[in-house]
Chains A and B, each alone.
Chain A
């Protein structure tokens, strides 16, 4: 075995593992819902912890044969990745998230699916854990290759997704695994290994050629149901790291949300865009005249009482309102979307300015003023539940305030939200607007068919404006007023007593789509039954369900080995605290940064790729240093206190810094991200190898157990980060991470010299 071979193989293996996580997200986002991807990945990543348990039990057996086992595990990792894709799409095992709340059969298939995806992560973690155990004296180096490989894997996986659909990516990953396998073969008796590698390569190539896997979305997803309609066809299909996109044309897919009863005839049937199998919106590109239908929806309202020359459309869908502004003959239309594919489509088809950016960060840099600012339509009636834990910095007090500053004196901000029951979106949006304006603005509420709109102005509505607004609303059979009762909505006077969280969203807690609070559960269960609660806010509930599952599994498998073999390593408590806190702290920070940087990079996919890559590579460099410097007690304490200081202050400074610099060019944002992430992640990469090295000297047998504890708590940290962020906000999340890192102190204080 070449001296560097196993390390390079380890880097390839780590790259493959992280790329596969991206694959799983894409697979579940397309076939089910994104949040099931979160759940499946979290549970599958428990494979890391389990690997520690298995290593702990079979420590001697594994370490004696590690030169043969390590390449084998790499091969098994790649192979099981391909296998898990086939298994998850095999009809007897394929679960349907839309049926699992009423069908026990589908509910039972979920753990089986998790198990299928658990296997590759388990093999991968077993290989890495084995290296950490065997080479504990060089942990810094092992961890360096592991983290740097993971970091580049994130970048490579992201790039590859522009070329390959997710179901075929595992074949590419298995090819890299085979390459890694050959890089770390034992020197003696190589031939059986070589034959095995060649044989498996032929097998996977044959599979790819003759029976490639096919992803089948749930039959209840928008795309599946649309394609069942007669005369319906897919015009174009695109793959990207932002998901899988289909342009579908059908004479039966009509678009007229909240259409007035005054409309006569049949609405138009434009081509429709589907993102990951969910309807993303119509493509009104060919005939702007068909947009006359919008004259019978709430979209007309801002045009009904004044001229609008400059229009800004902040959009999460396909920009139909931008096309409508053109149809209304606006002199200048600007559209901002966080979806590159949509930005590209609009740019190709409409004569308007289009920007691919997070709308809030774009607002921060833009210098223009507008007669009309359309905000994205909030919720797709019931759809909000699925994105409950998604951060949205546009619909916050600060975001709305910023948009308000960009209005011309007679300008109008216009918000549309679905009127779902029990009422949530309209109340939360209203509370946020009210707090943002703080007596500065003037508004009217217009209630259409199942939709509510807020018209906000800088100056008071003049009598002619009020008259025009009232006339238009009456013509469309809509209701208009300055308060809820005037539009016929029964809204509670005391918002705090309401069973849902409908208070204003802020930059610290930017969750306009999140409404559940503990008392919501009792309200929903008593009115609609427990089994129906998930449909009101599936996203957040799945995170909590995952968190509970992870806690149970983690505790069971962390303590089971100790009782099973009655082994009590010396300093058990210290080891547990040290490695659990490291796992927890690292993931709290990583998740917090991914979510916060979405607003910086425009989308979750971009943010995840950049932040994961930057953090892992920086931490890898930190690990590398550990092998090269003598670690004294003072240095260890310095590391801990620097970490705690940076994390505590990041709670205060990170968000304002990101907001202030969001308008800088892309390359500048990348450099700034590096500057913001590197120092922290560099230091965060050091405590783990320091701990393993110390443990190697004091209690080497406990290394696999410590590795497992760290693995379990990493997964727990990922789930906890989401819950903490929603419930307490970004600052508290960062402070909790700082608190977690104080877990290093007992070891640091007891450490003389490692």
Chain B
């Protein structure tokens, strides 16, 4: 009897990660179907990336159960991992292509960078908080995202050595659009950035550079808790 119990125990402890992994995958599929596709995100590459990246590995352990919920989660240092929909929307807005080089400002947990890395050729991401940047770098490396470069620096200045970029995704709000980022955007490139008070409601803005002229379009109000729901 004892031996049987022992074997059952060994079987379950070995198969638990696979079961848990399957459960999380199911949750991801549901998340994409209910929270993202239903709200109008249509880009197949974006939807696929959102189904693939294991969001639960980007949140603190105590929040793993909530990783696929329809809201942002705290990751410490006054930062959050954005709501899944907002990550998908920001990714879709820059129209990412397989050959693109994309700059992300505000690495945070590294989740947005991982989603981008599933679609584009190379992602450059900058984080100002050293502790967050180092953690994200390690996490992304362990998860096999070799096409992501993480730098701990002031994102305001972008990444001049690697400029220009096909697209820029800014996940930290500011009261203006940093001129160095506009300068590092390729002709025809797109940048998505929340503008406004960093702590309450911001406008998510799509910036486009065409023939040297910059145009902007208001997308929707967001917050560090992004403010949106279905159409």
A224 to B76, CA, bound (A): 12
Q: In the complex, are the beta carbons of B130 and A421 less than 8 A apart?
A: no
A221 to B200, CA, bound (A): 10
Which listed residue (A221, A257, A266) contacts B179, Cβ 8 A? A266
Q: In the complex, are the beta carbons of B221 and A258 less than 8 A apart?
A: no
Within 8 A of B (CB), among A340-372: none
For A94-115 the 0/1 string (1 means CB < 8 A from B) is: 0000110111000000000000
A318 to B: closest C-beta gap in Å: 14
B220: chain A residues at CB < 8 Å are 421
Q: In the complex, are the beta carbons of B214 and A477 less than 8 A apart?
A: yes
A102 to B77, CA, bound (A): 18
Within 8 A of A (CB), among B189-205: 195-203, 205
Q: In the complex, are the beta carbons of A382 and B200 less than 8 A apart?
A: yes
Query: Known interface pairs A224-B78, A266-B156, A528-B229. Does A420 touch B201 (Cβ–Cβ under 8 Å)?
Result: yes
Q: In the complex, are the beta carbons of B229 and A532 less than 8 A apart?
A: yes
Which listed residue (B128, B177, B200, B218) contacts A261, Cβ 8 A? B177
> How many cross-chain pairs have Cβ atoms below 8 Å apart between A and B?
122
Most interface-central of B72, B130, B223 (chain A CB within 10 A): B223
B30 in the interface, Cβ–Cβ < 8 Å? no
B157 in the interface, Cβ–Cβ < 8 Å? yes
B40: chain A residues at CB < 8 Å are none
Q: In the complex, are the beta carbons of A381 and B229 less than 8 A apart?
A: no
Q: In the complex, are the beta carbons of A535 and B223 less than 8 A apart?
A: yes
B1 to A: closest C-beta gap in Å: 42
Q: In the complex, are the beta carbons of A535 and B180 less than 8 A apart?
A: no
Q: How large is the interface on A (under 10, 10 to 19, 20 to 34, 35 or more residues)?
A: 35 or more
Q: In the complex, are the beta carbons of B78 and A381 less than 8 A apart?
A: no
Query: Known interface pairs A382-B200, A421-B220. Does A254 touch B228 (Cβ–Cβ under 8 Å)?
Result: no
A566 in the interface, Cβ–Cβ < 8 Å? no
Q: In the complex, are the beta carbons of B200 and A535 less than 8 A apart?
A: yes
Within 8 A of B (CB), among A234-277: 252, 254-259, 261, 263-267
Within 8 A of A (CB), among B208-231: 213-214, 216, 218, 220-221, 223-225, 227-229
User: In the complex, which residue of chain A has the Cβ closest to the Cβ of B130?
Assistant: A230
A228: chain B residues at CB < 8 Å are 77-78, 129
User: In the complex, which residue of chain B has the Cβ closest to the Cβ of A379?
Assistant: B197
Q: In the complex, are the beta carbons of B201 and A382 less than 8 A apart?
A: yes
B145: chain A residues at CB < 8 Å are none
Query: Known interface pairs A219-B77, A256-B176, A263-B179. Does A421 touch B197 (Cβ–Cβ under 8 Å)?
Result: no
Within 8 A of A (CB), among B84-134: 128-130
A697 in the interface, Cβ–Cβ < 8 Å? no
A295 in the interface, Cβ–Cβ < 8 Å? no
User: In the complex, which residue of chain B has the Cβ closest to the Cβ of A222?
Assistant: B199
B70 to A: closest C-beta gap in Å: 9
A383 in the interface, Cβ–Cβ < 8 Å? yes
A535: chain B residues at CB < 8 Å are 200-201, 223, 225, 227
A102: chain B residues at CB < 8 Å are 71-73, 225
A229 to B71, CA, bound (A): 26
Q: In the complex, are the beta carbons of A381 and B179 less than 8 A apart?
A: no
B48 to A: closest C-beta gap in Å: 26
A422 to B221, CA, bound (A): 8
A-B contact pairs, 22 of them (CB 8 A): A102-B72, A102-B73, A219-B78, A228-B77, A228-B129, A230-B128, A252-B128, A259-B176, A259-B177, A380-B196, A380-B197, A382-B196, A382-B200, A382-B201, A420-B201, A420-B203, A421-B203, A449-B177, A450-B205, A477-B214, A528-B227, A528-B229
**Sample of 4 more A-B contacts, CB < 8 Å, known A221-B199, A261-B214:** A219-B76, A380-B197, A381-B197, A420-B196
